[in-house]
Amino acid sequence: MPGFELFGDLEREEVNDVLDNGVLMRYGFDGMRKGHWKAKALETELKNTFQSKHVQLVSSGTAAVSVALAAAGVGAGDEVIMPTFTFVASFEAIMMLGAIPVLVDIDDTLCLDPQAVEKAITPKTKAIMVVQMCGSMGDMDALRKVANAHKVLLVEDACQAIGGTYKGKPLGSIGDLGCFSFDFVKTITCGEGGAVVTNNHTYYTNADHFSDHGHDHVGNDRGAETHPFLGYNFRISELHAAVGLAQVKRLPEFLQIQNKNFNIIRDALSQIPEVTFRRVPKGGEESCAFLNFSLPNLEIATRVSKAFKENGVDVCWNYYNNNWHYIRKWHHLKDVKSLYPISEEVKKELSTLHERDFSKSDYHIGRNISCLIKLSWTEDDVKERAFKMVKIIKENL
Which active-site residues does the annotation give? Answer: 186
273 class by beta-carbon count within 10 Å (0-12 exposed, 13-18 middle, 19+ buried): exposed
Burial 23-56 (b: 16+ CB within 10 A, else e): bbebebeeeebeebbbbebbbebbbebbebebbb
Residue 196, strand partner residues: 56, 179
Rounded to whole angstroms, the Cα distance separating 240 from 71 reads 23
Q: Are 108 and 364 in contact (CB under 8 A)?
A: yes
Strands ordered across the beta sheet of 165-166: 169-170, 165-166, 284-285
Cα distances (angstroms) measured from residue 227 to each of 97, 177, 201, 208, 224: 19, 23, 18, 12, 10
Rounded to whole angstroms, the Cα distance separating 133 from 107 reads 12
Sequential DSSP letters for 172-206: TSSSSEEEEE-BTTSSS--BS-EEEEES-HHHHHH
Pairing verdict, β 100-104 and 79-83: parallel
Q: Are 174 and 164 in contact (CB under 8 A)?
A: no
Q: Are 160 and 132 in contact (CB under 8 A)?
A: yes
Rounded to whole angstroms, the Cα distance separating 43 from 51 reads 12
Pairing verdict, β 79-83 and 125-131: parallel
Residues near 380 by Cβ (< 8 Å), separated by ≥ 6?
A: none
Q: Are 292 and 370 in contact (CB under 8 A)?
A: yes
Q: What is the 8-class DSSP label of residue 92?
A: H
